Structure 1
Amino acid sequence: MGSEVGDVPLNAIRAFAMIARERSVTKAAEALGTTQSSVSRYLAVLEDYLGAELVKRQGRYTELTDFGRLFANSVAEPLDHISFTARRMRRRERREINRIVVNSSLPTFAYTLLIPNLQEFSTEMGGAVVDVMSSLSLPSSTDGFDVLVTRDLALVEPSDHWEIYHEHLVCVGAPGHVAGKGMAITRSLPILTITSRPDILPTWLKAHDLTSDDIKPGARYDHHYMALPAVTTGQCLLVAPEIVVGNLVRSGLLQVVPNSRTPSGMQYRAYAVDRSDNPELARAFCRWLVRLCRKEALIAESSKIE
């Protein structure tokens, strides 16, 4: 049965907007927390109301018709605005919530610098709680985080962003193996490989006019934080972001190979997403993170980590 002209099916429009965003009825149902059959029924209601086909199935995915694409583009922004406004109005009645979720695609940065300093932010913000998660996957608008800290992941949803660190690389090793030796040590000790950052070693080699034939390849680790115990105790070297090894260098567990420092060209960024349930706290966190990284860079400079 067709809908009356005056009875605009708002729930059906919301369901269709999610189908358009996810390109899948199944994924739209998951995002909305309902069943696939319910979303399909909403779609049928809306198509009946508009008198036009909105989608066409292409295997596992749902493609929009030309009319469907036009309608989706027309309603997506107003729906996002309504949802965002409703959340903001609701928060005014729930100011006791003082918690955010931070998603980092930089697990070693989170492990070595972010997490150890979180109590400082919590104290500064009157006991705010920060939940930290780590994922290398491309984020989506349905993921439950308030802040994204990343180097290479793209965030397409509305957000504010801050540049928090311009990455520099250094080659480090245990002091007993590095002390008193120059860059020549890189030809005699194996250099560990980090599979999640395949760009680091080639970038560092090129900056120092070296090739892979000039070094001894070492063991492979998924992330820098997994390799750090090996390099602090073993006869090997590691090329890593200066910011994640700075504290270990200052504590004497690692030593930088002289003249091994070079910029990588990578920038770390923090994004505070507009859909956050606590946008003020999310933005305060990003500003605090900028200060933390700036302080770390100044400490590294004064400690002459070169």
Structure 2
Amino acid sequence: MSEFKTLTVTCQDGYALAARFYAADPSQQKPHPILICPATGIVQGFYHHFAVWLQQQGYDVMVFDFRGIGQSLHGPVKKSTASIVQWGQLDIRAMIDALLAHTQAEKVILLGHSAGGQLLGIVPNYSKVQKVIAVSGSTGHLKGITGRTGLLAPLMFYVIFPISRYTLGYGPTHKIGMGENLPKDVAREWAQFCSKPGYVINAIGKQIQASDDFHAQVQCPITAIWATDDEIATEANVKDLIRLYPNAATKIVPLNPKQFGHHSIGHMAMFKRSHQNLWAVIENEIAA
């Protein structure tokens, strides 16, 4: 029977994050534990079945809610001061250290979904990451987004978010099927970062000091896995993310839904049990 342990991880600024730890069988334990960093507005429970599967493959796994999301939201969302910059500088940093302390490993494998795989360049303890697997990871640049999402995103970023910031006090993403409602600064930064190429690189010199930009220092391998029918992590936007790490060994793995017997994969389905035949592809990149 698979089990996980609930944890509370305290960040450098005192903020408490809710997390789950899935311990592998010691007889099968792999040397590097996996930290699953969620997509924007997606709660840790979404990754449960995938985490259990990784646990069964011999990996210690930790997954968490970013501040302002799910069980890491303390109080009404409209009062949350969480930001995407804090997710990278404080939350991922704290989770890396917590996972290393929990497992006594030397480094972690960071498996990031969408935004969760886009922030290593602003994570202060980036050197404690063995490799990055960015699933549906890209910069999300508006001009690279396609399909229905390409029509919805500008409306969300330039109309809904600015108005709701003052009328509701948060980004109302739940009603449009895009995860949990977002703290207002998360919504604002999401729109800001995706309005130009480079995502979080657009915050350097603004919300982020130049000395806290670690993109060029990152040297661990980075693999971006994306679905060819993903309207957000398109080929152009995946390549836009990879270019931000000039000194890292990078790899791009495209997945065609039909080749794996699926009608679609998109931005979210790789972690669903309906698409479990994709998990071995992800694990192959983890183990490579």
Give the TM-score of the pair, scaled to structure 2: 0.30
| TM-score, structure 1 as length reference | 0.29
Between Structure 1 and Structure 2, the one with more strand by share is 1
Larger radius of gyration: 1
